Structures are given as C-alpha cells and as structure tokens.
Amino acid sequence: MAGRPRILVTGFSVFPGAPVNPTEALMAELEARRPLLAHLGALRTEVLAVEYDAVPARLAALAAFAPDIAIHFGLAADAHGFRLERLARNALAPRADNAGRRPPAAAIAPGMPDLPSALPLDALHAALAARGLPVSWSQDAGGYLCNYLFYLSRAGACAGFRPPMAGFVHVPPLDEHAAAPNALPRPALVAGALEIVRVCAQSWRGGAQRPG
C-alpha cells in the first residue's frame, strides 16, 4: 500500500436521548480543515442519519468514493475521551431509531461472526496518549446504530462498500453542551480526530494494515 488513501470519516446526527451530537459538529470541523489535510489523502466527511434503513443505503452510495479507510465516530455519553472500539458485534438491540423503527433483538448478518476493528488501534492509543488526550478501550460498541454501522462497514455488507481499513471510535459529549466530568472541550475533540486521521493515513502508507 502506498500513495494517498481515500479517507471517509463519518459522524451521526442527533438521536432520541441525545439532542446534540458532537460527532455532527466534528464533521463540520474536519470539513473546514479538508484543504489542510490534503497531504494525508482524499478526505470525505459524512453525517449519517440515525435510522436503520438509511445507513446501508448511504454506505452503498458512498461506495462510489471507494474509501481505503473508513473512520466512524459516534457519541457515547459514558465515554471517557476517545473510546477505541475493538469489536463489531453481529447483534442488534431493540431500540427505536429516529424514524421510530425498533428492530427485534437479532443478528445483523445471520451466520456471520463478530468482526475486529481494522484500524491501527495500538498506534492510535499511543498517539492520543502522547498528546495528553484521554483514550480508552472497549470490547462492545453497543447494540444501537453505532455498532450497526461498525459491523456493516467491517463486513462489507453494503453493495460495493468495502474499505480495507475500517473501525469505530466513540466520543463523549462536548463540555459546551454538558456539565458531565467526562465531557471534552471542542479543541480536544478536533485535535484527537485529526490525530486519528493522521495515524490511519500513515499506517496505510506504511502498509502496516492489510485488508481483512
């Protein structure tokens, strides 16, 4: 692997219980910096609707971009800093989305296994920690749209959408919207996301992460 990768970075819109989603704001912050990130690769940002039916269709449409790297961000109110998700679980939770759809508790893709993240997680953890940014690990991205997106992206389950390097990162609320002790200042959220993009692009160019 060499050259400039195509990098897709996604966030989510607001959803029931979360009237503000920091990952939506994060996409705007990254989009504003896109010219400054051109040396890393061709960057595309996307805010996804929190709807089970919309996510697969949007991923299929994004297949035309043919991302080499897909970095998905989502909100977790209890996250302490950047929570690196290790495992996409093949499971749905019966929780209503923005359209009111509540799927039954079931497998996302019957007969398929859980799938590990393909992001360079150890390098990401080290880089974020070196910058003094809070970072933690997780083995469970939940059963809601975050894990659903994570699994679809890793499984190549949407027509033509098969980024070789894909994974999910949860972030806490912004301190401008929540008084919680784990809330992040906006500059820290942006700095961490930029570091994640940088490390993933560097890993791609170095060939450390192989398609899986």
Residue 79 near residue 136, CB atoms below 8 Å: yes
Give the Å distances, CA to CA, from 178 to 18, 78, 183, 186, 193: 11, 12, 7, 12, 20
Query: Choosing from 46, 146, 195, 200, which is the catalytic residue?
Result: 146
Residue 211 near residue 122, CB atoms below 8 Å: no
Query: Choosing from 46, 72, 158, 170, which is the catalytic residue?
Result: 170
- The whole-angstrom separation of Cα 70 and Cα 57 is 16
With the CA atoms of 154, 174, 39 and 150 taken in that order, what torsion angle do they form, in degrees rounded to the nearest 10?
Answer: 0
Active site residue 29: no
Query: Choosing from 85, 158, 195, 200, which is the catalytic residue?
Result: 85
Active site residue 24: no
Active site residue 170: yes
Q: Pairing state of beta strands 42-48 and 165-171?
A: unpaired
At 61, which helix (H) or strand (E)? helix 54-62
- The whole-angstrom separation of Cα 166 and Cα 212 is 10
Q: Which residues pair with residue 138 across a beta bridge?
A: 85
Q: Percent helix, strand and coil across the chain, each rounded to 5?
A: 35, 20, 45
Q: Which sign, positive or negative, has the C-alpha torsion 37, 46, 119, 211?
A: negative
Catalytic residues: 85, 146, 170
